[in-house]
Amino acid sequence: MLQHVDSPPRGSSDSPAQSSNNRHKSNHDAAPRNGVTSLSTSFSLADGQSIAQLLQVAADMDLTFTFNARRSGEYCFEANAGRGVPAGKMIVIADLGADLRVSERVGPEEIDIEMWQKADWQQFLWAVRGKCYKALKSSS
């Protein structure tokens, strides 16, 4: 993702590279600067609007979307029957605060686990679409 980086003020000891590194290390919800919004890590999967958008992803991709409260609040995407995908294969997302745990499961067995750092909500939605397509829709 591209992010606008301002040059440091004249007389500042920070070089543009140091200034850029400092911005990328901080997680803050600052007001937009010069029309560019900062990365936001404030989203929560439990938010009603977030759930509605995840449901829309499932509807757009013809997937089943479920929530499992027994396993620490997991949000699951599963291929509908008859798609050439093994029964019980799903993408499972757990909100861990600043990070998201994304796993691929077949039945109870986890076959792939990734940790995603929260960033922009729209970027996250596209990453979910890509992960679901690769695991649940493609034939490879």
CB neighbours of residue 66 within 10 Å: 13
Q: With bands split at pLDDT 50, 70 and 90, how would you rate the model's confidence at 41?
A: low
- Band (80; pLDDT cuts 50, 70, 90): confident
Q: 108, 74 in Cβ contact below 8 A? A: no
Contact yes or no for 68/74 (Cβ under 8 A): yes
- Report yes or no: 37 and 31 within 8 Å, Cβ to Cβ: no
pLDDT tens digits for range 125-135: 999 999 999 99
Report the chain's terminal Cα–Cα distance, integer Å.
27
This model's pTM is above 0.75: no
Q: Is 100's pLDDT higher than 80?
A: yes
Q: Is 90 in contact with 105 (CB distance < 8 Å)?
A: yes
What structural domains and CATH numbers belong to the chain?
48-137 (3.30.67)
Query: Percent of the chain beyond pLDDT 70?
Result: 68
Q: Nearest Cα to 110, choosing from 127, 140, 88?
A: 88
